[in-house]
Structure 1
Amino acid sequence: MPGGYEVIGDDGFIDYHVHEAWNETTNVYLVVIFVSFGLFMYAKRKKRKIMRLFSVPPAAETLSEPTVSKIHLRQLEMYSISRKYDYQQPQNQAYSVQLSLE
């Protein structure tokens, strides 16, 4: 067979180059399979730790940005404070302003 790989050469002896190449390739595939299996088992045990590495923390700008509910709560708080202040003031006290012309 010209151009192909022959297991048995022209002289009747086995060509060991094919066997060596096959053994090296098989060894590489076995190493890849074992390493992949080991990484899979590690990832299965340490799933939370790995997910924490790839999660993106929220930006500082979004944390300081007020939401509608926060604004509404702040408005209610200010309204209740003003109502408390109004009830503490005596209602019948008259305010007077004196103007003097010189």
Structure 2
Amino acid sequence: MAGYGVMADEGTIDYSVHEAWNEATNVYLLVILVSFGLLMYARKNKRKIMRIFALPPTVGSTPEPNFYDGLQKVRLRQQLEMYSLGKEARKYDQQQQQVQPDSVQLSME
């Protein structure tokens, strides 16, 4: 019975399997080296690479609003409303004080 990679009739070793293995190993080694080189290049030139994949801003569209910016705007709006209500209340109080006489005199006959 012949073993794997051995010719049965001549008893010589079949080197085609070894040659294919060597070629595959060389290809894998080359792929690993190229990947390592690209990784090193990407580390050094991260900004250039990110600029390539970044989407250009579209004209006329606003960016998605930030959640915290929205909260700050709501809080500012609430503060302005409270200020304006307080201002209106002070105006109303001043008008009421001007309309009402300071003293009322009653006379009995």
TM-score (norm 2): 0.48
1:43 aligns to what? 42
Distance in 2, matches of 1:4 and 1:15, equals 9
- For structure 1, the 5+ residue unaligned runs are 95-102
The amino acid that maps onto 2:27 is V
Task: Describe the SS at the equivalent of 1:60.
Answer: coil
8 Å Cα contact 2:5-2:17 kept in structure 1: yes
Q: Which segments of 5 or more consecutive residues in structure 2 lack a partner in the other structure?
A: 55-62, 101-109
Q: Which amino acid aligns with 2:37?
A: G
Q: CA deviation at 1:85?
A: 5.0
- Aligned residues between the structures: 85
- Of the three residues 37, 57, 64, the one matched with 1:60 is 64
Percent pairwise identity: 41
Task: Give, as a single letter, the amino acid of the residue that structure 2 aligns with 1:36.
Answer: S
RMSD: 4.0
Residues 44-96 of structure 1 deviation map (CA, whole Å, 9 limit, x = unaligned): 2244554x959xxxx83766x943x54333111122134345556753158xx
Correspondence for 2:58: none
Distance 2:79 2:20 in 1: 79
CA contact (8 A) 2:5 2:15 kept: no
Distance 2:99 2:78 in 1: 28
- TM (norm. structure 1) is 0.51
The CA distance in 1 between the partners of 2:73 and 2:41, in whole Å, is 43
2:2 corresponds to which residue? 2
Amino acid at match of 1:30: L
